[in-house]
Chains A and B, each alone.
Chain A
Amino acid sequence: MNLWLFTLAALAGIAGGWLFYLAAPQQLWRVSPRRPGPALLWSGAAAVLVSLLLLLATMGAMAAVATWLTLLMLVGTLAPFLGAWRAHRRRSRA
């Protein structure tokens, strides 16, 4: 397995998952007066697609898809907690 490609794929997956979170109306990471635009959603989709393609280039198809989904699930699970933590810090400072 090519570790460089795997690392790049992981970084792209984390970035894509995070952009999806930032695109959600419930995100707490940023203070945004308006509903997030579709740009975040599209860049998130592009990043996760790049992640999947890189994984497919370095692993078997089934293992690549499973790794990709595992990564996205973990980012999606942790993101609301990180967002809430940052919002809490913001409130404490205010």
Chain B
Amino acid sequence: MKILYYGVTAYHFLCFVLHKHFYRQNDKAVLLIPERINESRSFQKYFSDAGVFEQVFLYDEPSVSKDKSLKENLSHIKEFYDNDLPIEIGFFDEIYVAVDHYAFGAYLVINSLKYNYFEDASGRLSRHKELAKDVCYVNPARGAIAEALGLYGNSLLVDNRYGDLALQDSDYLNQKDIHFSVTELLSQLNRTEIRKLANLFLFRHEDSGFESFEVKNSTILLTQHYINLNMMRYEEQKLMYQLLVDYFAGEKKLFIKPHPSDIHGLYANWFPGATMLPRLLPSEFLPFILEEINTVLVASSTSTLALEKNVKNSIRIGCGIEKNYSMIHKYYVVVSYLLSIKNDLRYVFIGDASQGLMKELIKTFPPLSYQEEITGKSELTATIIGKITEDNRNDIVSQFLSSSQDSFFIFLNYDNGCSFFEHSMKGYLVPIQITLSHQEGIFNKKKSEYIYLLSKNSLLREVAMKMKDKIELTYSGITVEINQEDKSAIGALEGINAAIERRLLEVQGQYDELYSKHRNRD
């Protein structure tokens, strides 16, 4: 049998190598890689030399443009592949494709060619909507094509879908799925085979020596390539990871494993003293080359899912952290508050408040515990509010007014505009001022942010009014301080002032709208 594999990342190639090794050992296989992907030439050379695939082809992939129509883009893809593909597709008995939302996948569907689908990353079969969102963000034209053709493994032309079924969402089911776990397959190889395979991905001769890393009581940070995906700028990605390590890694020794596509991160500069693990090595190898991984930390990737069985502690914050990482100090202050009161709480999250971040921070501070449901007679609820909008304001106010004595609301004031202030709640409100300071060039910059506790319970309010805490974050260089004794009165007044400003701005906006309608009518 002749098999064609198509993929773009090291994870895809690892899937293909294992699939070939375990299920198609005696068949001839060809690997097709777009030349424009990073290290394509190295992959071609080392895979060819190792004899894993009979041939490895590089080719120029057609680009799609958002300035062209869907029809024009599809025509371009068809014409390009009809003329320039270095292989004869009809020659293959089976085609395996990861990332069918790339041009090659579209080409197969346009020509009604059947194929098998590998999941884009661990656990992504059930999370194709997240993938679609990322694709549309990075390349809207490609996203439009994928949606029009029903790609991401959902096309009717897909025979089988391969992925780690144990890592999918709990309620997920698709009849075409076949369980394919990279971790399980790797565990069936002996150490020598694993080492040889790992060396391939490091572009070394398969019999090269292999470093060992002492990872006891350590944290491994797995990065994602937000810069590459145009989701973050350098300084934003840098600050986000520094904050995550500061808050979650603690004093543990730090290892950093960059995403294979994350060629931009300067992690050695951003984290002096940290040990860098090879970027190109798929993270699925880690449990087999490192012993006793204590903690794995990741922003929002699914890559920890495959490792969770092999690590003591897995920290995954969740989607949206790349937008809200600067709020992490506020969540820390909430946790600091929770440490002062009882922790038998049910948590409710409103207005984009991050459940993932809250949960992970709580886990970092024993004896706090995060519970989805609580047992016992009373239902004590902590409602965490990220943003107040005109849509949710009235609901929040009525919820608070009808809440029990011991429940409390914490408004995180995401937009720092204090738009929550409602006159009817004045007596229940305690602003908590957070002072953030850091050295920037010659200036020692200080900034104040506010969160607000609302509770009918005066004791809970009193705890907030007496809060005092200070932490100095190592990598980001930020000092976070709460000292309610000195500043609460001024903070309240500043907050009220800001609230008035915000309300006036809303009124001004309404006035502008009326004025504009009036003028247009004239």
Query: Are A and B interaction partners?
Result: no
Measured CB to CB, the residues of A under 8 A from B are none
Q: Which residues of B contact A (CB under 8 A)?
A: none
